[in-house]
């Protein structure tokens, strides 16, 4: 079967004296029947080319089902006078959100509920399966209950374009109110009066730029815009403090932030600035009562690359004193405040950790780190909505440890296991191994890699190398049921913790962005070569998504001979075209990550030198599988569509280059859990076959 051939329509793009001829820009018009026909032809070609993998896909899907407890529930979380939790039911795509009453005001031990049967007095707050009925896509955004427990604000997206509709449900009567607000960001924040709700709207570039106040029972045209951020580099958010005493608005770029605060019992009042914005200074703030004084706990990076923590009175945020000093070996990521303690999230030695600082009448106690007894792990603060709770809900996982949820007693230091993710089918963590290794980058920098395999897997082995390396996002140890299907077929799974991520602190990010972005790509190649040279890998398949898809496109050009195959999910492979156009979604916000090629010729030349699309050339490329979604607003489908067309036109090799487009989904792909499992099975079957792993048990 011959692949679809995209027609060529030359379009010139000129900047800074340089002209690039783009022959496939016509694919940008998704309203064009010709474009849709082309994408559908690509889907048909991909399906035909991979028809022989159908049985393997079915096997993997069934393995995921076999290992998953399909009828299950989450650990109940207390909010006000109720325990809230979600149920998943075998055969249903989405969760059912429920609640039951607390036994008493001092009831902080979550009830033991039956996953198979509804508990006595259980209320179904919202059933996503009902809301999703008849829709090709469904995403629940806001799920916010008023303080009195009566009203639910919830938002839904039925296209995948991240434009949500906000609605309200009276939980006493079950009635959906007439109020509805369309085309907004997903969140919703209640004021203390349980009558006013704040939400965010986005501009034409999908940037959250405004905060609005809505009064229940009034039409949308009476809503009041309480905040607008005109600077296109900033995006806006609003939250309530855990104490419910204050509302906070924050405007952020990737390097600068500014916050405003308002008493929540005065929702029609005026927000006042916390600390005025200064270019290059980031900060966040939470409310705590310290020594009887309403205070702000502020995390900031002024003269503190890895951030430090200070406290100041709410009435005088400039009157600060330091409680956690800056450290080169510890990146502070955030603080959660409660009536009796602070919970600190931070990373050290490339691992995320949690520590506790008790609040006393005299101030703040020493930091005490929670020990989970694991060597390679991800620890984090879990759902903790209540200000007065005496215990901290925390979670921990690793590549071979299913997710565990604990209650941590702040006074005694005891950890009480509430739930471990159920993995059926005879799974045992003892059958798998995980370890940390280090590769050496081109410039001599040591790059951490995480290696996961089934015990007894002979080496060298077929290996999947995953990477991201952007936005200071860290790919920390995480458990995956679907991944077991690869490991059990003799594959090794590896994460390259490359620069541009945040695993080793802010400098790790700074040295993989802007005019240092190529470090991300060369680090990944170095990790791949290390796996071959050290005898871990026989054949390599690379995988990455979104900005990690940019990584995939770059390494395909840099080292096509290193990889047997490359999987690129919703890949950002035409970055220069996108970042040059301020009218496209999120472009201006992105200038702090990549630079501004529109204004700076040096940035333009640097981006052009690594842009996957511009740098496709006549060479033998490995097998490539590209996955995208038609309604993606973060990385438009046109980027991978153009890239595939150019690869096919120029590649001198005979390896298949395939494109699969979800026609009713967004950046995260399809929405229902069974549909997601089918997509994972599709991708993993291709990886297993391409890597040369065994395709049957």
Q: Using CA atoms, how far apart are residues 262 and 270, in angstroms rounded to an integer? A: 7
CB 73, CB 88: distance < 8 Å = yes
Q: Using CA atoms, how far apart are residues 429 and 453, in angstroms rounded to an integer? A: 11
Q: For this structure, is 671 an active site residue?
A: no
The pLDDT value given to residue 696:
41
The pLDDT value given to residue 205:
86
Domain 33-65+429-574+611-691 CATH assignment equals 3.40.50.1820: yes
pLDDT in tens, 601-625: 999 999 999 999 999 999 999 999 9
Which overall architecture, per CATH, does domain 299-421 show? 7 Propeller (2.130)
Q: Using CA atoms, how far apart are residues 384 and 392, in angstroms rounded to an integer? A: 7
Q: For this structure, is 546 an active site residue?
A: yes
The pLDDT value given to residue 583:
87
Annotate 377-440 with three-state secondary structure. Answer: CEEEECCCCCCCCCEEEEEEECCCCCCEEEEEECCCCCEEEEEECCECCCCCHHHEEEEEEEEE
Q: Is 16 left (phi over 0), alpha (psi -120 to 50) or beta?
A: left
SS3 314: coil
Average pLDDT over residues 216-243: 97
- Torsion angle, CA of 102/104/106/110, rounded to 10 degrees? -30
pLDDT in tens, 469-501: 999 999 999 999 999 999 999 999 999 999 999
The domain made up of 135-281 has a fold known as Methylamine Dehydrogenase; Chain H (2.130.10)
151 has a pLDDT exceeding 60: yes
Q: Is the dihedral of CA 326, 329, 333, 334 positive or negative?
A: negative
Q: For this structure, is 530 an active site residue?
A: no
- 70 pLDDT band (50/70/90 cuts)? very high
Q: Using CA atoms, how far apart are residues 193 and 170, in angstroms rounded to an integer? A: 15
Report the chain's mean pLDDT, rounded to a whole number: 96
Q: Which regions of the chain carry the CATH code 2.130.10.120?
A: 135-281, 299-421
Length of the chain: 697
1 has a pLDDT exceeding 90: no
Q: Is 396 left (phi over 0), alpha (psi -120 to 50) or beta?
A: beta
Paired with 201 in beta bridges are 184, 210
pLDDT in tens, 424-480: 999 999 999 999 999 999 999 999 999 999 999 999 999 999 999 999 999 999 999
Q: Using CA atoms, how far apart are residues 528 and 533, in angstroms rounded to an integer? A: 9
What would the two tokens of residue 33 be? 């029947």
Average pLDDT over residues 544-558: 98
23 has a pLDDT exceeding 50: yes
Cα distance from N-terminal residue to C-terminal residue, the chain? 30
Average pLDDT over residues 121-148: 96
CB 311, CB 291: distance < 8 Å = no
pLDDT in tens, 295-329: 999 999 999 999 999 999 999 999 999 999 999 99
List phi, psi (to 5°) of 391. Answer: -120, 155
Q: Is the dihedral of CA 594, 600, 606, 611 positive or negative?
A: positive
Catalytic residue among 210, 470, 546, 611: 546
* Percent of the residues in the chain that have a pLDDT greater than 90, as a whole number: 96
Catalytic residue among 632, 651, 671, 679: 632
The pLDDT value given to residue 665:
87
What would the two tokens of residue 409 be? 């007693």
362 has a pLDDT exceeding 90: no
pLDDT in tens, 653-692: 999 999 999 998 888 888 999 999 999 999 999 999 999 9
697 has a pLDDT exceeding 50: no
């Amino acid at each position: 079967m011959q692949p679809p051939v995209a027609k060529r329509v030359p379009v010139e793009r000129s900047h800074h004296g340089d002209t690039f001829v783009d022959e496939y820009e016509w694919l940008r018009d998704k309203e064009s029947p010709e474009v849709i026909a082309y994408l559908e032809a690509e889907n048909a070609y991909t399906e035909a080319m991979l028809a022989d993998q159908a049985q393997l896909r079915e096997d993997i899907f069934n393995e995921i089902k076999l290992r998953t407890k399909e009828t299950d529930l989450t650990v109940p979380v207390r909010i006000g006078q109720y325990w809230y939790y979600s149920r998943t039911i075998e055969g249903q795509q989405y969760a059912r959100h429920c609640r039951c009453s607390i036994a008493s005001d001092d009831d902080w031990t979550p009830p033991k509920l039956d996953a198979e049967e509804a508990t006595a007095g259980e209320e179904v707050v919202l059933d996503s399966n009902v809301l999703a009925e008849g829709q090709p896509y469904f995403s629940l955004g806001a799920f916010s209950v008023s303080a009195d427990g009566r009203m639910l604000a919830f938002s839904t997206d039925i296209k995948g374009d991240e434009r949500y509709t906000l609605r309200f449900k009276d939980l006493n009567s079950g009635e959906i109110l007439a109020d509805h607000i369309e085309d907004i960001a997903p969140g919703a924040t209640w004021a203390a009066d349980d009558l006013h709700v704040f939400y965010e709207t986005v501009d034409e570039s999908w940037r959250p730029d405004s905060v609005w106040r809505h009064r229940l029972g009034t039409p949308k045209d009476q809503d009041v815009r309480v905040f607008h951020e005109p600077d296109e580099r900033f995006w806006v958010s609003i939250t309530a403090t855990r104490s419910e005493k204050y509302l906070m608005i924050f405007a952020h770029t990737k390097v600068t932030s500014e916050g405003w605060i308002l008493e929540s019992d005065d929702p029609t009042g005026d927000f006042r600035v916390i600390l005025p914005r200064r270019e290059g200074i980031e900060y966040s703030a939470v409310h705590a009562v310290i020594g009887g004084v309403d205070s702000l706990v502020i995390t900031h990076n002024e003269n503190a690359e890895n951030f430090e923590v200070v406290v100041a009175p709410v009435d005088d945020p400039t009157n600060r004193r330091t409680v956690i000093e800056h450290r080169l070996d510890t990146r502070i990521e955030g603080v959660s405040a409660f009536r009796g303690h602070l919970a600190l999230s931070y990373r050290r030695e490339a691992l995320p950790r949690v520590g506790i600082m008790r609040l006393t009448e005299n101030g703040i106690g020493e930091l005490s780190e929670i020990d989970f007894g694991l060597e390679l792990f991800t620890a984090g603060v879990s759902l903790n909505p209540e200000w007065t709770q005496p215990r901290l809900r925390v979670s921990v996982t690793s590549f071979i440890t299913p997710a565990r949820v604990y209650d941590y007693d702040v006074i005694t230091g005891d950890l009480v296991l509430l739930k471990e993710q159920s993995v059926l089918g005879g799974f045992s963590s003892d059958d798998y191994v995980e370890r940390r290794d280090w590769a050496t980058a081109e410039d001599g920098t040591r790059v951490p890699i995480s290696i996961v395999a089934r015990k007894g897997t002979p080496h060298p082995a077929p290996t999947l190398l995953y990477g991201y390396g952007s936005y200071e996002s860290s790919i920390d140890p995480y458990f995956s049921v679907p991944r077991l299907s690869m490991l059990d077929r003799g594959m090794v799974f590896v994460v390259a913790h490359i620069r541009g991520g945040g695993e080793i602190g802010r400098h790790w990010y700074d040295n993989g962005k802007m005019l240092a972005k190529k470090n991300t790509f060369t680090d990944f190649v170095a990790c791949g070569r290390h796996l071959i040279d050290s005898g871990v890998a026989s054949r390599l398949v690379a995988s990455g998504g979104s900005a990690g898809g940019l990584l995939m496109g770059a390494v395909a050009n840099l080292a096509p001979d290193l990889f047997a195959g490359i999987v690129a999910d919703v890949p950002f492979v035409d970055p220069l075209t996108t970042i040059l156009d301020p009218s496209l979604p999120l472009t201006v916000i992105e200038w702090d990550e990549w630079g501004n090629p529109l204004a700076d010729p040096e940035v333009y030349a640097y981006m052009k030198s690594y842009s996957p699309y511009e740098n496709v050339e006549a060479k033998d490329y490995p097998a490539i599988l590209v996955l995208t979604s038609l309604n993606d607003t973060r990385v438009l489908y046109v980027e991978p569509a153009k890239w595939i067309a150019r690869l096919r036109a120029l590649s001198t090799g005979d390896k298949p280059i395939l494109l699969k487009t979800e026609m009713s989904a967004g950046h995260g792909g399809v929405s229902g859990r069974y549909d997601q499992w089918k997509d994972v099975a599709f991708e993993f079957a291709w990886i297993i076959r391409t890597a040369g792993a065994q395709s049957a048990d």
